[in-house]
Amino acid sequence: MKTLRYFLLTALLLTGFSRNVNAQVTGLSGWNIFIDPGHSQNENVGVYGYSEAKKNLRVALNIKDLLVTTTDIDTVYLCRTDDQQQVSLSQRTDYANSVGAAWYHSIHSDAGSTTANSTLLLWGQLYNGTPDPPVGGETMSAIMVPILT
């Protein structure tokens, strides 16, 4: 038990507490992000009994906290903030459009095996009302997928 406590204290010191608390990422001032923790309530329960919707929400809340506390970003919107909210896809996109979100980030998860991890980054936009892969989208995906994974 003493060894476990020592290990946990060491891990905390090396990860969280050793960072410079005043360090901040700058360059995001005047910018906002809309985070969509995919699905709602207890949807998409995987084979291991864990809800994708619940996992996505916790990831979104942590991302929001990280952005608010370590960057100069102006605003972080979430389309839902608890496990009881039921938010449809059209409600999510309507909300993001109504606040003029600069970036829409939707979080999803396989809710599958704890030994496998996969990442997919879809980069899309509308051009005159029709889907159009933006120039650089494939390159951006190639950069971001390893980072997100």
| pLDDT tens track for 70-90 | 999 889 999 999 999 999 989
What pairing do the DSSP bridges indicate for beta strands 126-127 and 75-78? unpaired
> Same domain for 100 and 149?
no
Amino acid, single-letter form, for residue 105: H
Q: Could you tell me the CATH number of the domain that includes residue 65?
A: 3.40.630.40
Which has the higher per-residue pLDDT, 84 or 131?
84
Give the Cα separation of 29 and 61 in Å (integer): 20
Provide the domain limits for residue 52.
28-75+94-113
Are 101 and 138 contained in the same domain? no
Strands annotated E in the chain: 32-37, 75-78, 104-107, 126-127, 130-131
In a domain, 5, yes or no: no
* Average pLDDT rounded to a whole number, residues 135-145: 73
- Answer yes or no: do 48 and 100 share one domain: yes
Per residue in 21-60, pLDDT tens? Answer: 454 888 888 888 999 998 877 777 776 777 888 888 998 9
Q: Is 10 a member of any domain?
A: no
Residue with token string 């916790």:
58
Residues 32 and 65 in one domain: yes
pTM above 0.85, yes or no: no
pLDDT for 5 equals 37
CA-based nearest residue to 78, from 70, 69, 67: 67
